[in-house]
Chains A and B, each alone.
Chain A
Amino acid sequence: MSELVTAGVRPGSRAHLVGLARDYGVYVALGLLVLVNLVITPNFLSVDNLRTQAVQVVPVLVVALGMALVIGTKGVDLSVGSVMALATAMLPMYLGYGPVVAVVICLAVGAAAGLLNGSLVAFIGVQPIVATLALLVGGRGLALVISGGQLREVRNPEIRELGAGSVFGVPYTVLVAVVLVVLVALLVGRTTGGRQLVAVGGNPRAAEFAGLPVKRVLLGVYVIAGVLAAVAGVLATARLTASDPSRLGELIELSAITAVVVGGTPLTGGRVRVLGTVAGAVLMQLITATLIKNDVPASVAQMAQALIIVAAVLVQRERNSS
Chain B
Amino acid sequence: MSTSQESRSGTVAGMVQRHGALGVLVLLLVVGGLAFDTFLTAYNLGNLAVQASFLAVIALGMTMVIVSGGIDLSVGSVYALSGVLAAYSARWGPLAALLVPLAVAAAIGLVQGLLVGKAKLAPFIVTLGGLLFARGLLQFLTDEGGETYLVPRDSAFLQLGQGSVLGIGVPVLIVVLLYVVGGIVLQRTRFGMRLFAIGGGEDAANLMGLSVTSTKVGVYVLSATLAGLAGAMNAAQLGSGVTVIGVGLELNAIAAVVIGGTLLTGGMGSVSGTLAGVALLFVIQDLINQVGGFNSNLQAVVSGAVLVTVVVLQTLLSRARR
Q: Using Cβ atoms and an 8 Å threshold, which residues of chain A touch B233?
A: none
Chain B interface residue count, CB cutoff 8 Å, equals: 46
Q: Using Cβ atoms and an 8 Å threshold, which residues of chain B touch A193?
A: none
Known A130-B258, A133-B251, A309-B125: A138·B120 in contact at CB below 8 Å: no
Q: Which residue of A lies closest to B265 (CB)?
A: A127
How long is the Cα–Cα vector from A78 to B255 in the complex, in angstroms? 13
Asked if A303 contacts B137 (CB within 8 A), the reply is yes
B135 interfacial by beta-carbon distance below 8 Å:
yes
Q: Which of A247-265 contact B (CB under 8 A)?
A: 251, 254, 257-258, 261
Known A254-B132, A317-B120, A321-B120: A138·B140 in contact at CB below 8 Å: no
How long is the Cα–Cα vector from A307 to B136 in the complex, in angstroms? 11
Asked if A145 contacts B139 (CB within 8 A), the reply is no
Q: Which residue of B lies closest to A78 (CB)?
A: B251
The count of A-to-B residue pairs whose CB atoms sit within 8 angstroms is: 143
Q: How far is the CB of A243 from chain B (nearest CB, A)?
A: 15
Q: Which residue of A lies closest to B299 (CB)?
A: A141
Q: Within the complex, which residue of A138, A267, A302 is in contact with B136, where a contact is CB–CB below 8 Å?
A: A302
Asked if A299 contacts B140 (CB within 8 A), the reply is yes
How long is the Cα–Cα vector from A124 to B131 in the complex, in angstroms? 30
Q: Which of B283-310 contact A (CB under 8 A)?
A: 295, 297-305, 307-308
Asked if A139 contacts B132 (CB within 8 A), the reply is no
Q: Which of A105-155 contact B (CB under 8 A)?
A: 120, 124-127, 129-131, 133-142, 144-145, 149
B33 interfacial by beta-carbon distance below 8 Å:
no
A20 interfacial by beta-carbon distance below 8 Å:
no
A310 interfacial by beta-carbon distance below 8 Å:
yes
Q: How far is the CB of B269 from chain A (nearest CB, A)?
A: 14
Q: How far is the CB of B303 from chain A (nearest CB, A)?
A: 5
Q: How far is the CB of A120 from chain B (nearest CB, A)?
A: 7
Asked if A126 contacts B312 (CB within 8 A), the reply is yes
Q: Using Cβ atoms and an 8 Å threshold, which residues of chain B touch A258?
A: 128
Per-residue 0/1 for B120-151: is the Cβ within 8 Å of any A Cβ (1 yes, 0 no)? Answer: 11101110111111011111100010000000
How long is the Cα–Cα vector from A38 to B115 in the complex, in angstroms? 34
Asked if A126 contacts B315 (CB within 8 A), the reply is yes
How long is the Cα–Cα vector from A165 to B314 in the complex, in angstroms? 50
Q: Provide the main secondary structure of the chain A interface.
A: helix
Asked if B304 contacts A138 (CB within 8 A), the reply is yes
Q: How far is the CB of A283 from chain B (nearest CB, A)?
A: 15
Most-contacted residue by chain B among A131, A298, A313 (CB, 10 A): A313
How long is the Cα–Cα vector from A307 to B111 in the complex, in angstroms? 12
B178 interfacial by beta-carbon distance below 8 Å:
no
Per-residue 0/1 for A283-322: is the Cβ within 8 Å of any B Cβ (1 yes, 0 no)? Answer: 0000000000000011111110111011001100100110
Asked if A149 contacts B297 (CB within 8 A), the reply is yes
Asked if B301 contacts A305 (CB within 8 A), the reply is no
Asked if B307 contacts A130 (CB within 8 A), the reply is yes
Interface size class of A (residues with CB under 8 A): 35 or more
B190 interfacial by beta-carbon distance below 8 Å:
no
Q: Using Cβ atoms and an 8 Å threshold, which residues of chain A touch B303?
A: 137-138, 141
Q: Which residue of A lies closest to B258 (CB)?
A: A130
B271 interfacial by beta-carbon distance below 8 Å:
no
Asked if B136 contacts A306 (CB within 8 A), the reply is yes
Asked if A303 contacts B124 (CB within 8 A), the reply is no
How long is the Cα–Cα vector from A58 to B315 in the complex, in angstroms? 37
Q: Within the complex, which residue of B121, B300, B308 is in contact with A313, where a contact is CB–CB below 8 Å?
A: B121
Asked if A303 contacts B136 (CB within 8 A), the reply is yes
Q: Using Cβ atoms and an 8 Å threshold, which residues of chain B touch A320?
A: 120-122
Asked if A261 contacts B140 (CB within 8 A), the reply is no
Q: Using Cβ atoms and an 8 Å threshold, which residues of chain A touch B305?
A: 134, 138
Q: Using Cβ atoms and an 8 Å threshold, which residues of chain A touch B251?
A: 78, 133, 136-137
Asked if A133 contacts B131 (CB within 8 A), the reply is no
B56 interfacial by beta-carbon distance below 8 Å:
no
Q: When A and B form their complex, which 8 residue pairs have the shortest distance between CB atoms, in order from nearest?
A: A138-B304, A141-B300, A302-B136, A299-B139, A306-B133, A299-B140, A303-B136, A144-B297
Return 7 A-B CB contacts under 8 Å, by A number. A129-B254, A134-B307, A137-B307, A138-B302, A138-B305, A145-B297, A297-B140
Residues of B near any A CB (own CB < 8 A): 71, 115, 119-122, 124-126, 128-133, 135-140, 144, 247, 251, 254-255, 258, 264-265, 295, 297-305, 307-308, 311-312, 315-316, 319
